[in-house]
Each structure stands twice: as C-alpha cells, then as structure tokens.
C-alpha cells in the first residue's frame, strides 16, 4: 500500500514538473509576443527621431544661409545703380577739369547740362518720373500749395508756377511738387447764394432721411403686430 502511494506521489510530482515547464514556456512565449512589438516600435521611433534631428539641422542651416544671403542682397542691392552713377561722377570730374583749364563758362555750362540729362535719364530708367505741374489743374495729392492767389478769369484751380518739382517712382508719389496756385475768385453774392442752396438741399435730404426712418419703424411695428 505504501509502495503504491509512493508511486502515485512520484507520478504526481512528475506531472507537476511537466505542468510547471509548460507554464514557463507559455510565459516565455507571451513575453516574446510583447517584447517583439515593443522592440519594433522602439526601432521605428529611433529611425523617426534620427530623421527629425537631421531635418532640424538642415532647416537651421537653411535659415542661417537665408539670413546671410538676404543680408548680402540688401547690402549690395544698389550696386548696379551705383555703378551707373560712377559714370556720371566721372563726367562731372572731367567737366570740372575742363572748366579749370579753359576757363570757358559756355563749355562748363554745356558740360553740366549734358551731365544733368544723363543723370535724369538714369533715374528715369530706374522708374523715376517727373510730375507735370505748370498749367495743370491743382491736385492735392501731387501738388503742395505754397502760395494761393484768387483769379476771376479761371474756372478751376490751376498751377501757375512750380517752385520745386515733384516725382513719381514706379507710379507712386515720393515727393509732391511745391507750387503756386490760382483759385477761382467767387463773388460774395454768388457765394451766399451757393451756401443757401447747399443749406436747403442738406435740410431736404435730412427730412427725407427722417421720413424714411419713421416709415421703416412703422413697417417694423406693423410686422410685429401681425
């Protein structure tokens, strides 16, 4: 009886060992199933992080290059214009030397006039345009009135003298012209009559506006009652 019990006990121990081994195998497999995706995700993360770090470094380098290039463009933006101006400066120096040598006012005057035309031509080629003012209708955007005179013979405000020219750069006003302006002189009786008419028209317009507001309010009240 004891031998049978011992044998049975041994068999149970063997079965227990087998069950424990199987359990460990199952746990190991479960750990591998969990570990493999984590390692894969970690590898993917490392790859993405490396790409991000490289892109960040490339962007920083690009930004630094852009700032440097922009500074260079700004610094030398007027290089072409300066080169053209140097030619005019050379002509100025030649004209001064010629005037000193020959002491001839006419030659000096011709040289200065030629250089002035050359200089203005250069400015025109870069988008500069002079505002035409003399004899033109007064424009408050293009003209700065320095002096105003009344004149009954004119029908509209007109520039009769230009004191300083104005200029446009590519169509935009960079300096208005300083001018003297003739304005139409209005007879005092006519002026009073015009003021009366303006006052009457203004009052009529105001009355029409008040009537329209009242009419709209009446319509709103009727709609509410409905």
Q: pLDDT digits over 151-197, tens only?
A: 877 778 889 999 999 999 999 999 999 999 988 775 555 445 544 65
pLDDT score, position 186 = 59
Strand partners, 147: 180
- pLDDT band at residue 200 under the 50/70/90 scheme: low
- Between 156 and 28, the more confident residue is 156
**Residue written as token pair 């400015």:** 123
- Between 214 and 160, the more confident residue is 160
d(C-alpha 158, C-alpha 164), whole Å: 16
Alpha-carbon Rg for the chain in angstroms = 47
């Amino acid at each position: 009886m004891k031998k049978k019990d011992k044998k049975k006990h041994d068999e149970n121990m063997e079965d227990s060992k087998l069950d424990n081994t199987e359990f460990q195998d199952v746990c190991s497999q479960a750990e591998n199933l969990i570990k493999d995706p984590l390692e894969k995700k970690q590898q993917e993360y490392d790859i993405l992080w490396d790409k991000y770090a490289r892109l960040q470094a490339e962007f920083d380098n690009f930004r630094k290059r852009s700032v440097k290039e922009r500074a260079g463009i700004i610094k030398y933006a007027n290089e072409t214009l300066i080169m053209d101006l140097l030619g005019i400066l050379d002509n100025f120096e030649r004209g001064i030397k010629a005037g000193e040598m020959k002491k001839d006012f006419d030659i000096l005057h011709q040289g200065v006039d030629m250089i002035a035309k050359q200089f203005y031509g250069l400015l025109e080629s870069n988008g500069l345009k002079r505002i035409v003012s003399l004899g033109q209708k007064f424009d408050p955007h293009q003209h700065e009135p320095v002096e105003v005179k009344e004149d009954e013979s004119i029908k509209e405000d007109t520039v009769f003298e230009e004191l300083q020219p104005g200029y446009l750069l590519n169509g935009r006003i960079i300096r208005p012209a300083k001018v003297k302006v003739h304005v139409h002189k209005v007879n005092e009786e006519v002026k009073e009559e015009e003021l009366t008419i303006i006052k009457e028209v203004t009052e009529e317009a105001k009355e029409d506006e008040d009537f329209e507001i009242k009419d709209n309010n009446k319509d709103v009240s009727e709609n509410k009652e409905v």
